[in-house]
Homo-oligomer: A and B are copies of this chain.
Amino acid sequence: MAQLRAGIDLGGTKIQAIVADDQHKVLAAARQPTPTGGGADGVVAALTAAVRDAADHAGVSTRELAGVGLGSPGDVDDEKGVISNASNLSGFDKPVEVAAKLRADLGVERVRLGNDVSVATQAEFELGAARDYRSLLGVFWGTGVGGGLILDGREWHGRGAAGEIGHMVVELNGARCPCGRLGCMEAYAGRRAMEAEARRLHDKGERTELFKIMRDRGRDRLTAGVWHRAWRHKDKLALRLLDRAYEAMAAAVASAVNLLDVEAVVLGGGMGIRFGEVARARLEKQMLPHTFNDDRPPAVVLASLGDLGGALGAALLLDGKAGS
């Protein structure tokens, strides 16, 4: 039997687990909402539940898994098996010994940890849309906007914190970013910042269907699905905020391309995947006026592993290639 492994993508709102074989074929997938409040134990319990579900669907016990890889936000220390400074996760503002807990609870020997954006970028590079390129920038457009770099076939992490494309400055003294700084790209393009701006304008009396769609879909925030439906309905406020998001994202991505001259840009993330080709084409088009070598722009491609890219990348950690 092929060696099976699990991969987990730990996000602020959902946990995606998969079981894959050693050829990276996904045999089963399972999803859990990320517990909000209740501390780190609740989050770890949801991680193990997701892996158990996926293993069940694949017809194996978690003890039979060759290992578990986890992609996480925050500061990831794979050597120590610890995640910290993940402010979006309940209880993860302090260091959490995730690897030891997963090993004990799931009965697996090997647990590897990686940065969520890094493993997703690595997955697209090894298995997805960027297989044909040696240098690329992964742009993950979701709650925030994360960036992953592959340069000459290898991940670039700098001193451990490279890839903060969402915090490249696109407007001097511009909008306040959720990070507290002014004029970051994410202040315009991150879903969280877009929602805050939509609420502010709605509270001031601007008309929008965004919050009605949100309630109709039983959501408590403006998910990528809510934005997409509002866009299809040509909701004026939504269109305006999306325009602003594309403008800021295109400027920052073009700036990164001017600096690094990579072969390809891979667009993923919750918003990127939901808007799909529309988002890819807009990013490509709106980057061009800012691209210094506009006769030879990089390829702009859509992440092809979709929702499972993060979990697949986490499983790749067990090959010892991906990491943070």
Binding site for B on A (CB under 8 A): 135, 147, 149, 151, 156-165, 167-172, 174, 179, 181-184, 247-248, 251-252, 254-256, 258-263, 289-290, 292-293, 296
Q: Across the interface, do B290 and A161 meet the contact criterion of CB distance under 8 Å?
A: no
A292-B167 in contact given A247-B172, A248-B172 (Cβ < 8 Å): yes
Partner of A172, one of B159, B170, B181, B263: B170
A207 vs B163: C-alpha distance when bound (angstroms)? 44
| A172 CB contacts on chain B under 8 angstroms | 170-171, 174, 247-248, 251
A179-B259 in contact given A171-B172, A252-B169 (Cβ < 8 Å): no
| A149 CB contacts on chain B under 8 angstroms | 259-260
CB distance from A150 to the nearest CB of B (A): 12
| A159 CB contacts on chain B under 8 angstroms | 135, 261-263, 296
Q: Across the interface, do B292 and A259 meet the contact criterion of CB distance under 8 Å?
A: no
A157 vs B167: C-alpha distance when bound (angstroms)? 23
CB distance from A136 to the nearest CB of B (A): 11
Q: Across the interface, do B168 and A260 meet the contact criterion of CB distance under 8 Å?
A: no
Q: Across the interface, do A179 and B292 meet the contact criterion of CB distance under 8 Å?
A: yes
Q: Which of A247, A255, A289 has the most CB of B within 10 A?
A: A255
CB distance from A269 to the nearest CB of B (A): 17
A160-B255 in contact given A181-B290, A247-B172, A290-B181 (Cβ < 8 Å): no
Q: Across the interface, do B259 and A169 meet the contact criterion of CB distance under 8 Å?
A: no
Q: Across the interface, do A164 and B259 meet the contact criterion of CB distance under 8 Å?
A: yes
User: What 16 additional pairs, Cβ within 8 angstroms, besides A171-B171, A172-B247?
Assistant: A135-B158, A158-B260, A161-B292, A161-B293, A162-B259, A164-B261, A165-B258, A167-B255, A167-B290, A167-B292, A168-B255, A169-B170, A170-B171, A181-B290, A181-B292, A183-B290
CB distance from A230 to the nearest CB of B (A): 23
Partner of A162, one of B157, B164, B182, B260: B260
A269 vs B193: C-alpha distance when bound (angstroms)? 38
Q: Across the interface, do A259 and B259 meet the contact criterion of CB distance under 8 Å?
A: yes
A182-B259 in contact given A171-B172, A247-B172 (Cβ < 8 Å): no
| A296 CB contacts on chain B under 8 angstroms | 159, 161
CB distance from A121 to the nearest CB of B (A): 13
CB distance from A115 to the nearest CB of B (A): 12
Please give me the residue from chain B that is nearest to A169 by CB atom.
B251
CB distance from A291 to the nearest CB of B (A): 9
CB distance from A52 to the nearest CB of B (A): 36
Q: Across the interface, do B158 and A262 meet the contact criterion of CB distance under 8 Å?
A: yes
In order of increasing CB-CB distance, the 4 nearest A-B pairs are A158-B261, A168-B255, A162-B261, A164-B258
21 cross-chain CB contacts under 8 A: A135-B159, A147-B259, A151-B156, A159-B263, A161-B261, A161-B292, A162-B259, A162-B260, A162-B261, A164-B261, A165-B258, A165-B259, A167-B258, A167-B292, A170-B170, A170-B172, A172-B251, A179-B292, A183-B251, A184-B290, A259-B260
